[in-house]
Amino acid sequence: MEKKYSISDASRQVEVENHVLRYWEEELGLNIHRNSKGHRFYTDRDIKILRDVKDLKEQGFLLKSIKLIIHDIDNVRKMNPNEQYKLREELNQKIQDEEENNSNKAKAVNGFMISRSQSVQTDNVVQLENKNMSGAAGQVLNIQKGELGQTAFKQGEQRSVAVPSEEKIKRFELMLRKMVANVVEEGQKESEQRISDNVSTKLMKEINYIMMQKDEMAAKQTKLLEEILQKIQSQSLEEVAATSQIKQLKTKEKKKDDKKDKVKEKGKNKRGLRIFG
């Protein structure tokens, strides 16, 4: 069963005052439910929308701008910061232009009403001042004043028609919704392109990393082979040196043996001479 929150609970979760929630409900046309006693209650969906409204306001969106996108607020929240910035500037500018235009038109209507009132007063004064004029002159004067009044009245009607109607506001909202949809679609395309670019970048990084590992492995193998060759060469030199030392020792021993043999022969010869002597 969906959980329901009172206005006090909702205000704590959204972190605004109760009267702010009531004001947003009225200005944005939110459909907040009531219980049997007529008290407001909020669902999790309502609280999410209110949090989104608060966040958009903190980003600089006007409340009237938010009203135009309230039904697409989920898509707006999915936009990246740059897309939200563009949408905010366009909506706020349109709202400000519309308010300025309405203000100018209201001033024009007020100016017409004042002018019309002054014209009526002038007509009355002129008619009073010309009571004693001849009938033909008085009629001409009244006709001229009447024509001026009708012209001013027609201009006022044209200006009044220019005041924006409900139909114009609905068309404006429809245009903004289409604009939001286009921005979202463009954002999705940009996101897909970014994802593709990111995948390509990551893939290139992985390939470069693998190539670097291969190069490092080849360098290590080359270094290992060089070390093995150096060891083999070193061992060969040591063996050659050892063999040379052995030969030298054998030569020395042989010389010693030869000397001993010569000494022995000399000794034998001396003993032979003694015997014969």
Max CA-CA distance within the chain?
Answer: 207
DSSP, residue by residue, 5-50: B-HHHHHHHHTS-HHHHHHHHHHHT---EE-TTS-EEB-HHHHHHH
The beta strands (E) that lie in the chain are given as 33-34, 40-41
Q: Does 99 reside within a domain?
A: no
| Conformational region of residue 38, where left means phi above 0, alpha means psi within -120 to 50, and beta covers everything else | left
Confidence of residue 214 (pLDDT cuts 50, 70, 90): confident
Q: Does 11 reside within a domain?
A: yes
Q: Does 48 reside within a domain?
A: yes
Q: Does 138 reside within a domain?
A: no
pLDDT confidence of residue 115 = 58
Structural domain span for residue 49? 1-58
CA distance 255 to 125: 162
What mean pLDDT do residues 88-94 have? 90
Q: Does 69 reside within a domain?
A: no
The two three-digit tokens of residue 147, written as one number: 């024509």
Planar angle of CA 196, 201, 202, nearest 5 degrees = 100
pLDDT confidence of residue 276 = 54
Measure the CA dihedral 260/265/270/274, to 10°. Answer: 130
pLDDT confidence of residue 126 = 47
pLDDT confidence of residue 256 = 76
226 against 141, higher pLDDT: 226
CA distance 50 to 44: 10
Q: Does 204 reside within a domain?
A: no
- Of 47-61, 137-151, 160-174, 204-218, the poorest mean pLDDT is in 137-151
Each residue of 124-155: b (16+ CB within 10 Å) or e? Answer: eeeeeeeeeeeeeeeeebeeebeeebeeeeee
Tell me the pLDDT tens digit for each residue of 18-48: 999 999 999 999 999 999 999 999 999 999 9
Tell me the pLDDT tens digit for each residue of 148-175: 445 444 455 444 444 456 666 667 777 7
Chain mean pLDDT for the chain:
75
Structural domains in the chain (count): 1
pLDDT confidence of residue 147 = 45
DSSP secondary structure letter of residue 59: T
Q: Are 116 and 152 in contact (CB under 8 A)?
A: yes
Q: Does 74 reside within a domain?
A: no
What CATH number did the domain enclosing 46 receive? 1.10.1660.10
Confidence of residue 128 (pLDDT cuts 50, 70, 90): very low
pLDDT confidence of residue 243 = 75
- Of 67-71, 155-159, 231-235, 267-271, the poorest mean pLDDT is in 155-159
Q: Does 1 reside within a domain?
A: yes
Tell me the pLDDT tens digit for each residue of 217-263: 878 888 888 888 888 877 777 776 777 777 777 777 777 777 777 77
